[in-house]
Each structure stands twice: as C-alpha cells, then as structure tokens.
Amino acid sequence: MVLLLRYRSLTINLTPLLIPKSHSFHTLQSFRNPKNLISIPRISSSSSSSSSSSSSNNPTTTNRSISDAAKFAKSVLFVPPGVEIEELTDDVVLPGSNIVIGPFAGHSQIKEVEFVKSSARARDCPKDDRPEIAILGRSNVGKSSLINFLVRKKEVALTSKKPGKTQLINHFLVNKSWYIVDLPGYGFAKVSDAAKTDWSAFTKGYFLNRDTLVCVLLLIDASVPPQKIDLDCANWLGRNNVPMTFVFTKCDKMKATKGKRPDENIKAFQQIIRENFKVHPPWILTSSVSGLGRDELLLHMSQLRNYWDQ
C-alpha cells in the first residue's frame, strides 16, 4: 500500500516536543499495568459525531493526507517500556500504525491453535493465568476474517460462527501459552433491543472481571465512516480502563466507488478519538485480503503479552 511505504520511509526524528512528557509518562506507566494501558476518555458527548474530511481522490490531496497521517502518528506514538524516546527512529515504528516496538516484542508467529471452550459468563471462562487478547467489533466488521488471517486456519473462526456460539465468549489457546478470545459481535441489525441489552451486560462483565485480559483489539471497519456504536464502545472501554488497540479492517478497499476511502474514514475516526481521549490508544491498519498488517499486529500482541507476563 502506497500510504504505508511512504509512511515507512519518513524519518521520525522525534524530539521531546513531539511527545509531551505527560504523554510518554502516562504511556510508559500504563503499559506496566495493563489494566491502565488505555487512557480515560476526556468527554464522551461528542463521540457520536463524525468529522468530515476534505480530501479528494486527486494525487495532490492524497500526498497531503499521507504526510498528515504520518505526522499525526508521530504525535501520538504508543511507546512501550525500555524505549528511549529521544532515540526513536522510524525503524521501530510499525508501518501503518502509531506503535513503537520495544524490547518486549518477541516470538510472535502462531504455530498451534486449539479451541478450548465457549462460555456464557465471565466466570465460566478458562481458569488459568495465561494472558489473553480479546477481539471485539461490530457484526460484519471482519472479525472472523481477521482471526483466520492471524492464525491462518479457517476452522478457528468457523467455530465461533457456528449457530449458538456467536453470542458466547470463545477461547482459543495459542502455542499453549496464551489465548485469543473471540467476543460476540455487537450491533446486529436484526437483534431485538432485549438481546442487545443482554449482550452488553454479559460482555461488560467479561471486561470488568477478567484479570488475565491483556488487551482488547477493537476492530473498526475502515471502509465506512466512524460509527456511533464503535465510538460508544471505545469510550466505554476507555472509561473502564480496559486496554485497547484499534485494528482498522478492510484497508485494502482503497478504491471505494462511493463514499469515502479508508484513509479518510480512519482519519475521521482518529480525530474523534483524539478529542475524547487524553492519550490516543495504539492503532494499526490491516487487511485480511491483502495480508496488510498481519506480522505487525502479531508483533504488537507479543510485546503486550510479554510485558504482561513479567
């Protein structure tokens, strides 16, 4: 993807001015305690609004938006412990993200994955102290595709798509050492209000009570403008100190025939988040069609896990 190649070639050349002290301190500190990895939203009242972008499809505007995207990423870097901010170079920033890779990043490839169980309540989830990373998103956001893409096995997401399992918490053990947790999708158009309420209580119970939860990957569909339900979800997680990473899906859809392109949608989403959060959570661009972001996301997950495991 042009955007990513261009982004990668930029020199980060960070100075303390680009990352205010309060930001880096907060990020480093909160990394130590995964429960505080994410900042608390400043306000949530504007979360439902979606900002518009003035970019168009002409190359001049696209170039400007590329450099704006890179500048924005540099101003809100996610800096893990063990990284000297003054010495940062572009090599340590994952392409298509604001994520700095530090010394805790390690073995990230998935060799083995097994379905363990489906749970109806947080207290029914597997009882061991292995770390877990949960995957959450609106129905149709591309959650099953992303899970398949990460583990490179079709059966995994198929399990969670089986009737009766879509509304459950599904645990998959990876390399016998950590879990991927597939959470029920939200925003089903055809689900009754009562069912939606149940979903909330049930999933919220998981977030608030699961001690081994390292991070939530909150999936955001980059092919559509910011959605109120996603922003509400992000704000709720932030308010409750649940660590999250935004994973933008469907970033291959660069040639949208109608509506805005993914880079414009992503920018609009990030601007709203920036207004609502004291510290911008990590984000990464992915596509399960083109393979974009897979290795980078796995690496990011490895550093979150390894630090948590300390």
Coil/strand/helix, residue 209? helix
Comparing C-alpha atoms, which of 80, 83, 159 is closest to residue 117?
Answer: 159
Q: How far is the CB of 16 from ligand GDP (least distance, A)?
A: 37
Smallest distance from the beta carbon of 200 to ligand GDP, in angstroms? 18
Chain residue whose CB lies nearest ligand GDP:
142
Query: Could you please report the per-residue DSSP string of 94-119?
Result: PTTBSBBP-TT--------EEEEEEE
Query: CB-wise, 128 or 295, nearer to ligand GDP?
Result: 295
Q: Which of the ranges 41-49, 73-81, 136-144, 257-265 carries the binding residues for ligand GDP, by CB under 6 A?
A: 136-144
Q: How far is the CB of 278 from ligand GDP (least distance, A)?
A: 29
At closest approach, how far in Å is the CB of 234 from ligand GDP? 17
Considering only 64-72, 82-90, 245-253, 275-283, which stretch makes contact with ligand GDP by CB under 6 A?
245-253
Of the listed pieces 75-83, 84-92, 117-125, 132-140, which binds ligand GDP according to CB under 6 A?
132-140
Question: Considering beta carbons, is residue 40 or 110 the nearer one to ligand GDP?
Answer: 110
- Count CB atoms within 10 A of the CB of residue 128: 10
Residue with tokens 């063990």: 82
List phi, psi (to 5°) of 170: -105, 120
167 scored as a contact of ligand GDP (CB under 6 A): no
Here's the x/- map for ligand GDP, 260-289, by CB under 6 A: it reads as ---------------------------xxx
* Residue 250 touching ligand GDP (CB under 6 A): yes
Cβ-based nearer residue to ligand GDP, 171 or 305: 171
Among candidates 262, 272, 260, 200, which has minimal Cα distance to 56? Answer: 260
Cβ-contact 135, 143 below 8 angstroms: yes
Alpha-carbon distances of 94 from 19, 145, 283, rounded to whole Å: 17, 22, 10
Compare residues 47 and 160 and give the one whose CB is closer to ligand GDP.
160
Nearer to ligand GDP, 55 or 145 (CB): 145
Q: Residue 219 Cβ, how far from ligand GDP at the closest point, in Å?
A: 7
Contacts of 30 (CB under 8 A, 6+ apart): 36, 37, 38, 39, 243, 279
- Residues 138-157: x where in contact with ligand GDP by CB under 6 A, - otherwise, as a string: -xxxxxxx------------
User: Is the four-CA dihedral 6, 10, 108, 300 of positive or negative sign?
Assistant: negative
Nearer to ligand GDP, 131 or 142 (CB): 142
Between 51 and 140, name the residue whose CB sits nearer to ligand GDP. Answer: 140
Binding of residue 227 to ligand GDP (CB under 6 A): no
CA distance 285 to 294: 9
Closer to ligand GDP by Cβ: residue 188 or 236: 188
Alpha carbons 41 and 258: distance in angstroms, whole number = 32
Considering only residues 181 through 200, tell me which ones interact with ligand GDP, judged by CB under 6 A.
185
CA separation for the pair 41, 274 (Å, rounded): 9
Q: Strands, E, within 54-195: which ranges?
A: 113-119, 132-137, 169-174, 178-182
Q: CA 16 to CA 24: how far, in whole Å?
A: 9
Stretch that binds ligand GDP, among 122-130, 171-179, 249-257, 275-283 (CB under 6 A): 249-257
Residues that bind ligand GDP (CB under 6 A): 137, 139-145, 185, 249-250, 252-253, 287-289
